[in-house]
Amino acid sequence: MSAQADRFVHDRLPAADQLPRLVFQRPELHFAQRLNLVEELLDKAPLRGFADRPLLRSSRLTLTYAEARERVDAIVRMLTEDLGLVAGNRVLLRGGNSIGLALAWLAVVKAGLVAVPTMPLLRAGELGDIIDKAQPVVALCEARLLEELDRARLERPVLRTVVTYDAAAAASRPPGDAPAADPVSACTTAADDIALLAFTSGTTGKPKAAVHTHRDVLAACEAWPRHVLRATPDDIVVGSPPLAFTFGLGGLLIFPMWAGASVYFPEAPYTPETMVRAINEVGATICYTAPTFYRQMAPFARQSGVGALRICVSAGEGLPDATRQLWKDASGIEMTDGIGATEMFHIFISSADSQVRPGAIGKVVPGYQARVVDDDGNEVPRGSVGKLAVIGPTGCKYLDDPRQANYVRDGWNHPGDAFTQDEDGYFFFRARADDMIITSGYNVGGPEVEDALLRHPAVAECGVVGKPDEARGMIVKAFCVLKPGHDGDAAMVKALQDHVKATIAPFKYPREIEFVATLPRTETGKLQRFRLRQA
């Protein structure tokens, strides 16, 4: 039976016939009916021998698992005793990646509350949409980010209390009382009680709230981290994705805790140069970031080296093979690519470095099943382009959203990606389904053209979309950011077109190329092709 007295989220889950079918075929995916994921990962750390091992690091402080628990318990007391919150209440979290934000997230979930993490760059209007959807009653907000939140809550009395904290000060004293002498027991949540609402990062317009239970998050730990990442307690993790993004939450908090490893949080958001510097200075062994960031880090890695770094995880957007090879040449490390989804919590297709196949994302992660299907859900022949369908121990559960019916069909999750699968089971990303360009009867994947353009020495970044055309239906159009010293003139247009024709099938070349100073991206680094299409 649920321990969450506030049934707001439970009552707004999809109807039974629209829920994903969850599959728990592997023994490690069998969980108890009562389960609190923070109790499993943090409170039980001493039983796994991790009590005195480092967990959270910054330039000012390192907290062991035992010390982190003391601070988490202090925040739990503040939330439940001082503010009177009950299990199931939503708590909005707002802050940059820091020890303070990590402690706050863990405390909210340990208390049986529902974490609603938000991207730090969101403005009042976007925060207002999240408040309207999630109905949080309390917010824990980094002091420097308070202004936009205050504007968002002006006409929203549901958010009755905001507790502010300073990210740097929170490292030594998090929001809440001084650490309690006696440990606080975790709320006895059910495995299918709600742990968080993960709002999508908005590459295709208005965001949706994906619901994840305590079991969902722990099941994700038993899939990709166990079988592909294989982190150890000696690993030190760094990365750029925000904790409000499930790629960042898993990579920079949940998965390190599952392995008994530690995470380093910087004082300020990373730049490509400071990321490489941090990797060397803190002895980082695992890095998470998006392909664009690896591409920008490559010159600094080539110059300074990457120290003890051994695993580089790329996700969040398609990984061009040109970027993979550029990073490997600069660092000596074969990148670990992966595709996941906010709706599925994390990565479900990936391969470790020893199993990498050029151009492929990888194979389906143990615990999941995946196939490439047509519009009717029938599997297409190997090598044919179709749409990805996935099933496993996690699945899409939107909060009160009619778009649930688009994502889940017959129990399978449909992330909206165009793929092919070869005879050996490797999956090759072709495009988001809405990024597939149909020109003169040919199917062209925008990411494939982007990869070809990125192989030209003048191109720093690019985005490729379809542009309506009366004669061809659509034409391939490229938006390119050039490296310094190169001119965006007619000669460069022809040079890039000729380069693409020589690299991939000539019909895929961009008939139009527009040179721009920057490309529109989300806070997580994803290219917003829908904005290019609007342009």
Per-residue pLDDT reduced to its tens digit, 259-293:
999 999 999 889 999 999 999 999 999 999 988 88
* Numbers of helices and strands, H then E, in the chain: 17, 26
295 and 429, same domain (yes or no): yes
Q: State the pairing for strand pair 442-445/194-199.
A: unpaired
Identify the pLDDT of residue 15: 95
288 and 410, same domain (yes or no): yes
Structural domain ending residue among the three candidates 377, 399, 433: 433
Amino acid at 495: A
Q: For residue 162, give the nearest of 186, 143, 179 by alpha carbon.
A: 143
Residue 338 covered by a domain = yes
Identify the pLDDT of residue 206: 65
Residue 115 covered by a domain = no
Tokens, residue 305 = 């080296």
Residue 192 covered by a domain = no
Residue 413 covered by a domain = yes
388 and 501, same domain (yes or no): no
Q: For residue 498, give the nearest of 515, 511, 483 by alpha carbon.
A: 511
Is the four-CA dihedral 250, 133, 76, 143 of positive or negative sign?
Answer: positive
Which CATH number goes with the domain that contains 520? Answer: 3.30.300.30
411 and 518, same domain (yes or no): no
Identify the pLDDT of residue 442: 65
Q: Which residues contact 148 (CB under 8 A, 6 or more apart)?
A: 122, 123, 124, 127
| Greatest distance between any 2 Cα atoms in the chain | 75
Residue 25 covered by a domain = no
Please say whether the beta carbons of 199 and 209 come within 8 A: yes
242 and 326, same domain (yes or no): yes
Which range of residues forms the domain containing residue 485?
440-534
Identify the pLDDT of residue 359: 85
What's the rounded Cα separation, in Å, for the pair 203 and 529?
7
Structural domain ending residue among the three candidates 433, 460, 494: 433
What's the rounded Cα separation, in Å, for the pair 152 and 159?
10
Q: How many domains does the chain have?
A: 2
- Residue 308 has phi, psi (to 5 degrees) of -90, 5
What's the rounded Cα separation, in Å, for the pair 136 and 297?
38
348 and 290, same domain (yes or no): yes
Residue linked to tokens 């050996």: 424
Structural domain ending residue among the three candidates 433, 450, 473: 433
Please say whether the beta carbons of 316 and 525 come within 8 A: yes
For residue 236, the cross-strand partners are 262
Residue linked to tokens 């010159």: 299
Identify the pLDDT of residue 389: 97
451 and 522, same domain (yes or no): yes
258 and 315, same domain (yes or no): yes
Classified as helix, coil or strand, 531 is: helix
Please say whether the beta carbons of 365 and 350 come within 8 A: yes
- Model pLDDT for residues 80-118, shown as the tens digit of each residue: 999 999 999 999 999 999 999 999 999 999 999 999 999
Residue 529 covered by a domain = yes
Identify the pLDDT of residue 172: 42
Identify the pLDDT of residue 189: 98
What's the rounded Cα separation, in Å, for the pair 535 and 522?
16
361 and 457, same domain (yes or no): no
What's the rounded Cα separation, in Å, for the pair 463 and 514?
10
Residue 4 covered by a domain = no
Q: What's the predicted TM-score (pTM) here?
A: 0.84
Distances (CA, A) of 169 to 138, 165, 173, 274, 502: 21, 7, 6, 22, 56
Tokens, residue 423 = 């005879």
Contacts by 349-354, CB closer than 8 A, 24 or more apart: 349/390, 349/427, 350/224, 350/228, 351/228, 351/426, 352/228, 352/229, 352/230, 353/311
510 and 484, same domain (yes or no): yes
Residue 123 covered by a domain = no
Identify the pLDDT of residue 181: 59
Tokens, residue 313 = 């995880």
Identify the pLDDT of residue 174: 46
Which portions of the chain are predicted below pLDDT 70?
A: 167-181, 201-206, 433-435, 440-443, 524
259 and 369, same domain (yes or no): yes
358 and 388, same domain (yes or no): yes
* C-alpha 342: how far from chain center: 6
Which CATH number goes with the domain that contains 428? Answer: 3.40.50.12780
